[in-house]
């Protein structure tokens, strides 16, 4: 059986849950992973480095999350040292827990019934536009 909710396994089925605020993605797999990394590292920049993202990209994602929800998901205290950096707020923890539960429910809903059957019917690689096997 080759299905999963994230890119941790090779899969023909990828379930990607996204929540929108207007046209902005308020929460998705990457933002949830970023919240986990901020929780682990206590710093937005360290979380971004751990995820291989630029400082700017990391800050833009945090800013988007904080603008989309009624309460901030990430709070910051400028400067270095004890008590400084970033932390996931109680609202952030609640959103993250609910989002992870939704991801699990979506994955559970997709299997184990149809996913294995569809997987056996799926080509390993698509044909080229002219109908020839790809190399």
pLDDT tens-digit readout, 75-84:
998 766 666 7
Segment 91-112, tens digit of pLDDT: 999 999 999 999 999 888 776 6
Q: How much is the pLDDT for 115?
A: 67
The model's pTM is 0.77
Across residues 51-58, what is the average pLDDT?
A: 96
Instruction: Say if residues 18 and 106 touch (Cβ distance below 8 Å).
Output: no
Average pLDDT score, the chain: 85
Integer distance in angstroms from the first to the last C-alpha of the chain? 25
């Amino acid at each position: 059986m080759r299905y999963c909710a994230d890119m941790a396994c090779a899969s023909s089925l990828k379930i990607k849950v996204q929540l929108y605020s207007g046209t902005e993605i308020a929460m998705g797999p990457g933002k949830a992973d970023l919240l986990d990394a901020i929780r682990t590292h206590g710093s937005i920049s360290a979380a971004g480095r751990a995820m291989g993202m630029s400082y700017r990209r990391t800050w833009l994602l945090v800013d988007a999350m904080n603008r989309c929800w009624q309460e901030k998901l990430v709070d910051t205290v400028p400067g270095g040292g004890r008590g400084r950096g970033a932390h996931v707020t109680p609202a952030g923890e609640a959103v993250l827990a609910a989002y992870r539960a939704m991801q699990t429910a979506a994955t559970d809903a997709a299997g184990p019934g149809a996913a294995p059957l569809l997987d056996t019917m799926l080509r390993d690689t698509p044909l080229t536009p002219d109908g020839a096997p790809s190399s």
